[in-house]
Chains A and B, each alone.
Chain A
Amino acid sequence: MLKAYATFAQIQHDLHSKKITCTALVKHYLANIESKKHLNVFLSVYADEALARAAVIDEKINRGNAGKLAGLVVGLKDVLCYENHPLQASSKILDGFVSQFNATAVQRLLDADAIIIGRQNCDEFAMGSSNENSAFGPTLNDIDNTRVPGGSSGGSAVAVMADMCQVSLGSDTGGSVRQPAAFCGIVGLKPTYSRISRHGLIAYGSSFDCIGIFSKNIEDAALVLEVIAGADEYDSTVSQTPVPAFSSLLSAASEKKYRIAYMRDTLQSPALQPEIKTAIEKSLDQLKLDGHSVAGIEFPLNEYVLPTYYILATAEASSNLSRYDGVRYGYRSPNTTDLESMYKKTRAEGFGKEVQRRILLGTYVLSASYYDAYYNQAQKVRRLIREKLKELLKEYDFIITPTTPTTAFKLGEHSTNPVEMYLADLFSVQANVAGLPAISLPLGTDKIGLPMGVQVMADDFEETKLFHFSKQLMNLA
């Protein structure tokens, strides 16, 4: 039996010194997946295939021509295309769907000799903050099985937390990587908007959607980002900005002192759990002692961030999800009489309630009579939010907030009023509204042992700096 590896560097070290093999490693993760089946993390496990691939990569390691990610075992949120493998965004409407091509991010992992171990549970179409909106049932938090792992990439977070894979890829539209990372005590990165190609990522809110990375440490996130980020001829929205060699830049020691701002109102929010407040304040004090400058700032637009997000993201969702009509793929209702009833029944039977709510809200805010009042107004407020944050990031290197207002809540706790659930993204959604990179780092546990998270946000394309500082911040704790 292998131990859980804290870093991919240790895995590679042991692979190259022949202490372990990829095959043994894959068996180790498969055993963990099997023994923790009750958490409902994986929707598909590609056991035989992962073992076959492990044997091939072991051979490559022996020959000395293995790729950069040889030995990295990765899980994929059920929103990323992996050719000839099932994909359904945890929705009934994609029943039976099989990917016909690889997402660019997945292709790049495979090209670098990573091993894909399976497909992970999430909230349906990445809409949710608890992983409870899945057609396959909720994923449970490994620390306390009566609690949620966060969402929407809940399965991907628990998989890393419970050592079922070394790294997971998720997607982050309003906090769906950072929030579950905080609830599960791991690292969750949402890079700059457009940093990673979204070819082969199931779309939810296209002006927000980002592929994100779950890992146990900063180095692994940096290495994976370096492999999957960058220009792609299949995605016209992806950034052409060259991708820095994040991992080697990170390995150079940096004791640089930074200018750090924290948002006072987020710490004074009545919604914030007191232990998280105390932990963040303690970190800020330590950063000061460490020589960084730390300043409290006001951000009066904060209360408008979530409403802006919910108008724009639902509008985009109503458009993106119009493609699920029972014609080209997935589920088609057997109860139809004509074309219109086929669309309507297929969609009513195939989509879960939260997805239907968001499609309806999105359709409403885009409808002719209300477009200006909602959609247009939200786009204007979005500009104000982005400009104000960009201004602050000229003055400060980073903005620190809690990742979430509370630690992991109980299953069913926020099921009566949809708006209550939305508040779980109170602090994370800002980075998506502004398109900025942000990371959630583990910050100890609350008094009943549940993980807490701190979020660091940086300016566009400042991931290198973000990684350096994150490492410093994690070393403080």
Chain B
Amino acid sequence: MSIDKQTLQKIAHLARLEMKEEDTDKMLNDMNQMLAFVEKLKEVDTTGVEPLVTMSHEINALREDENKPHLNREKALANAPKKDAQYFRVPKVLE
């Protein structure tokens, strides 16, 4: 399986990455090399094999539901590129 420019643009949109026209050929080439590399997995017969969905050895590590704020507002906002006293600021979404 290989991907074309249109598919690449679609994935880039899903991943919220701007893909400049001049970068697409190189990226397409790299992506197809990576895909050809992982394609090999299709050779493996996995009939009847359940997917391994977690690597954790723990099953339901439960704890009391106590209110323990981890970061206060000031700290949570400390790294924001744009903020006011209470909120993160982003470009206007609704007119």
Query: Which residues of chain A have a CB within 8 Å of any CB of chain B?
Result: 96-98, 100-101, 193-194, 207-208, 233-234, 236-241, 301, 303-304, 306-308, 310-311, 318, 322, 325-332, 336-345, 347-348, 351, 356-357, 359-361, 363-365, 367, 370, 373-374, 376-384, 386, 417-419, 422, 435, 460
Contact (A367, B11) CB under 8 Å given A194-B57, A328-B88, A348-B18:
yes
Task: List 24 contacting pairs A-B, 8 Å CB cutoff, sorted by A.
Answer: A98-B79, A101-B75, A194-B56, A239-B56, A301-B44, A307-B37, A310-B37, A328-B80, A332-B82, A347-B15, A348-B18, A357-B31, A359-B15, A360-B8, A360-B31, A363-B11, A364-B11, A370-B1, A373-B42, A378-B38, A379-B52, A381-B44, A417-B33, A460-B57
| Interchain CA distance A348-B13 in the complex, whole Å | 11
Question: 8 additional contacts, CB 8 Å, given A101-B70, A418-B34?
Answer: A101-B71, A303-B40, A306-B37, A310-B37, A327-B80, A332-B82, A357-B31, A360-B15
Contact A193 B11 (CB under 8 A): no
Question: B30 on the interface (CB 8 Å rule)?
Answer: yes
Contact B30 A357 (CB under 8 A): yes
Chain B residues positioned under 8 Å from A322 (CB to CB): 15-16
Please give me the residue from chain B that is nearest to A324 by CB atom: B16
| Interchain CA distance A383-B33 in the complex, whole Å | 25
What's the least CB distance linking A128 to chain B, in Å? 14
Contact B38 A233 (CB under 8 A): no
Contact B17 A348 (CB under 8 A): yes
Chain B residues positioned under 8 Å from A379 (CB to CB): 51-53
Contact A304 B44 (CB under 8 A): yes
Chain A residues positioned under 8 Å from B12 (CB to CB): 360
Please give me the residue from chain A that is nearest to B88 by CB atom: A327
Chain B residues positioned under 8 Å from A342 (CB to CB): 90-91
Contact (A347, B16) CB under 8 Å given A328-B80, A330-B79:
yes
Chain B interface residue count: which class? 35 or more
What's the least CB distance linking A243 to chain B, in Å? 14
Chain B positions 17-41 with a Cβ under 8 Å from a chain A Cβ: 17-20, 27, 30-31, 33-35, 37-41
| Interchain CA distance A374-B37 in the complex, whole Å | 12
Question: B65 on the interface (CB 8 Å rule)?
Answer: no
Question: B85 on the interface (CB 8 Å rule)?
Answer: no
What's the least CB distance linking A359 to chain B, in Å? 5
Chain B residues positioned under 8 Å from A419 (CB to CB): 33-34, 37
Contact with A along B46-57 (1 / 0, CB 8 A): 100111111111
| Interchain CA distance A320-B57 in the complex, whole Å | 21
Please give me the residue from chain B that is nearest to A83 by CB atom: B75
Chain A residues positioned under 8 Å from B8 (CB to CB): 360
Please give me the residue from chain B that is nearest to A239 by CB atom: B57
| Interchain CA distance A337-B91 in the complex, whole Å | 7
Chain A residues positioned under 8 Å from B50 (CB to CB): 380, 383
| Interchain CA distance A354-B91 in the complex, whole Å | 29
Please give me the residue from chain A that is nearest to B14 by CB atom: A363
What's the least CB distance linking A310 to chain B, in Å? 5
What's the least CB distance linking B15 to chain A, in Å? 4
Contact A236 B61 (CB under 8 A): yes
Contact (A380, B51) CB under 8 Å given A330-B81, A364-B31:
yes
Contact A241 B57 (CB under 8 A): yes
| Interchain CA distance A360-B24 in the complex, whole Å | 12
| Interchain CA distance A347-B58 in the complex, whole Å | 34
Chain B residues positioned under 8 Å from A383 (CB to CB): 49-52
What's the least CB distance linking A89 to chain B, in Å? 14
What's the least CB distance linking A14 to chain B, in Å? 40
| Interchain CA distance A97-B75 in the complex, whole Å | 12
Contact partner, A339, options B37, B41, B57, B90, Cβ 8 Å: B90
Chain B positions 68-90 with a Cβ under 8 Å from a chain A Cβ: 70-71, 75-76, 78-82, 88, 90
Contact B61 A347 (CB under 8 A): no
Contact (A348, B40) CB under 8 Å given A332-B82, A419-B34:
no
Contact A381 B58 (CB under 8 A): no
Please give me the residue from chain B that is nearest to A359 by CB atom: B15
In the A-B complex, list the 7 residue pairs whose CB atoms are closest, starting with the nearest. Answer: A379-B51, A329-B79, A332-B81, A383-B52, A380-B46, A348-B18, A344-B18
Contact B34 A361 (CB under 8 A): yes
Contact (A194, B82) CB under 8 Å given A360-B17, A380-B50, A417-B33:
no
